Chains A and B, each alone.
Chain A
Amino acid sequence: MKMEEKPLSGPDNTRLEALMQDIYSELVEDACLGLCFEVHRAVKQGYFFLDETDQDSIKEFEIVDQPGVDIFGQVFNQWKNKECECPNCKRLIAASRFAPHLEKCLGMGRNSSRIANRRLASNNNISKSESDQEDNDDLNDNDWSYGAEKKCEDQKLQNQNSPRRSKSLKHKNGNFCLSQQYNYNAGISYESLAPNEVRSLLTTQCGVISEHTKKMCTRSHRCPQHTDDQRRAIRLFLLGPSVPTLPDVDGDGFDVPDSQAVLSRLQWEDSPDISPADSASSKASGNHSDSRRPKKKKKPAVAAVALSMSGGGGGVNLMGVSGAVSQSTISLSTKKKKPKAAAAAAPSVSSIFNELN
């Protein structure tokens, strides 16, 4: 159909407006009619008044609109100040803290078993190690001495992972515990362990030897205090210049070095430029994350590791990918927050690992 050429804009705006209004009122009338039909049908079918059959329950569940109260009429944090008696230890615990307290009190749940295992491990170490008393201000690492650990154990009533914990420790001990959010562990002195124990320990634990306490870090392989390079260096140092997973270890696997220089070299030395071969071999040895920090202080000695590891690496040809991976980890770790960088790098890198393997 041919459209009329009459313009709708300009001085004829009124026509446009009138047309608009007409269309609009048609639409509204349609809506009203629709409602009427709906209501009429409901009336005739008998379900129109169904929601009004029980006046009592209507009054009971009426919507409440008062301040300080929700629409059901309940007060918001009514149970916040209440105290519950623990059936186990018979103490009065605040309601919001009741569930975590029960978890620890009854010894069930995820955290409590972890804590118990740690306590057992540290108790074993205390009985083994000789040098227990340390300077109290020498606590920059997580590798503890016995004295500081005992003081902090009394604080274990609080949540282990809350930042509050470290703050209270600061005040009560007067020690310079860094504002860390993790548990404190006792370290293990590698001098007192047999090679087999060392090896088994190193497969489960971080193992990096702290310069302050000369003890191995008992945290996991992903502990944010130490880098993978440090871990590799320690394994090389303790187990000899071969792949740590092999049972036969030749050479100086277990000689205790008498020079501090060796230890410091392992931990604090500046490293040369790291070639792709290093990262390829590091993958082969099975470490989880390859986070490196550009700080000059803490780069471990990778060259020796590379030379030794490439022999046992098996010629894994991952250079291109490893280069990209190492770059991404560097970019992640350029910020100064160490634990988060390692933690962030680890999942991304490990996912790439999984794809490759």
Chain B
Amino acid sequence: MSKEYQMRAAINQKLIEMGERERLKELLRAKLVECGWKDQLKAHCKDVIREKGLEHVTVEDLVTEVTPKGRALVPDSVKKELLQRIRAFLVQHAAV
């Protein structure tokens, strides 16, 4: 539905305008580094690279290999906290 689409676009815009999106991004990055997610994923990258050969690795290769695993490896606590913050923002700033 286009209304839905419009609404989503509006919310996204508000997220960006208020700087909340940047804040959420930084928060997520920090938490992932803290919990070791980044190191885990980097080790996985090393395996992929060794497999594919150092010279011929492309960005697409890495993305297709890494992203699903990355999504799965996010710890529950981080996920919960982020969802909580997003919800708080939506409740406060989107039409309730």
Query: Could you tell me if A43 and B90 are in contact, using CB atoms closer than 8 angstroms?
Result: no
Query: Could you tell me if B41 and A24 are in contact, using CB atoms closer than 8 angstroms?
Result: no
Interface residues of B (CB under 8 A from A): 3-4, 6-8, 10-13, 15, 21, 24-25, 28-29, 32, 38, 41-42, 45-46, 49, 54, 57-59, 62-63, 66-67, 70-71, 74, 79, 82-83, 86-87, 90-91, 94-96
Return the contact of A5 from the options B45, B62, B71, B95 (Cβ within 8 A).
B95
B87 to chain A, nearest CB (A): 6
Query: Could you tell me if A6 and B62 are in contact, using CB atoms closer than 8 angstroms?
Result: no
Chain A, Cβ-Cβ closest to B89:
A23
Bound CA–CA A36/B44 (angstroms)? 11
User: Contacts A16-B90, A28-B70 hold; do A43 and B79 have CB atoms under 8 A apart?
Assistant: no
Flag whether A95 is at the interface (Cβ < 8 A): no
User: Contacts A8-B94, A23-B15 hold; do A32 and B59 have CB atoms under 8 A apart?
Assistant: no
User: Contacts A7-B96, A43-B57 hold; do A35 and B66 have CB atoms under 8 A apart?
Assistant: yes
Bound CA–CA A5/B70 (angstroms)? 36
> Which secondary structure characterizes the binding site on chain A?
helix
Residues of B near A8 (CB, < 8 A) are 90-91, 94-96
Flag whether A258 is at the interface (Cβ < 8 A): no
Flag whether A68 is at the interface (Cβ < 8 A): no
Flag whether A56 is at the interface (Cβ < 8 A): no
User: Contacts A32-B67, A35-B42, A36-B59 hold; do A27 and B82 have CB atoms under 8 A apart?
Assistant: yes
A9-29 Cβ-contact flags toward B at 8 Å (1 or 0) = 100000110011111110111
User: Contacts A20-B83, A39-B62, A43-B54 hold; do A27 and B3 have CB atoms under 8 A apart?
Assistant: no
Chain A, Cβ-Cβ closest to B27:
A27
Report A18-63 residues with CB < 8 Å from chain B CB.
19-25, 27-37, 39-40, 43, 48-49
Chain A, Cβ-Cβ closest to B41:
A35
Q: Pull 20 A–B residue pairs with CB atoms less than 8 Å apart, ordered by A.
A: A3-B7, A6-B3, A6-B7, A7-B95, A7-B96, A9-B91, A9-B96, A19-B8, A19-B90, A27-B24, A29-B71, A32-B66, A32-B70, A32-B71, A33-B63, A36-B45, A36-B59, A39-B49, A39-B62, A40-B62
Query: Could you tell me if A20 and B87 are in contact, using CB atoms closer than 8 angstroms?
Result: yes
Residues of A near B42 (CB, < 8 A) are 35, 39
Flag whether A1 is at the interface (Cβ < 8 A): yes
Bound CA–CA A36/B59 (angstroms)? 7
Query: Could you tell me if B94 and A24 are in contact, using CB atoms closer than 8 angstroms?
Result: no
Query: Could you tell me if A35 and B70 are in contact, using CB atoms closer than 8 angstroms?
Result: yes
User: Contacts A23-B15, A32-B70 hold; do A37 and B96 have CB atoms under 8 A apart?
Assistant: no
Query: Could you tell me if B82 and A4 are in contact, using CB atoms closer than 8 angstroms?
Result: no
Bound CA–CA A6/B58 (angstroms)? 44
User: Contacts A35-B66, A43-B49 hold; do A6 and B38 have CB atoms under 8 A apart?
Assistant: no
Bound CA–CA A120/B6 (angstroms)? 94
Query: Could you tell me if A24 and B7 are in contact, using CB atoms closer than 8 angstroms?
Result: no
Tell which of A3, A9, A25, A31 has the most Cβ of chain B within 10 Å: A31
Report A131-183 residues with CB < 8 Å from chain B CB.
none
Residues of A near B46 (CB, < 8 A) are 48-49
Tell which of A15, A20, A23, A49 has the most Cβ of chain B within 10 Å: A23
Residues of B near A16 (CB, < 8 A) are 87, 90-91
Residues of B near A9 (CB, < 8 A) are 91, 96
Tell which of A9, A15, A22, A35 has the most Cβ of chain B within 10 Å: A35
A47 to chain B, nearest CB (A): 12
Bound CA–CA A36/B10 (angstroms)? 29
A278 to chain B, nearest CB (A): 63
Residues of B near A24 (CB, < 8 A) are 79, 82-83, 86
The 7 tightest CB contacts between A and B, nearest first, are A32-B70, A36-B62, A4-B7, A32-B67, A39-B45, A20-B86, A40-B59
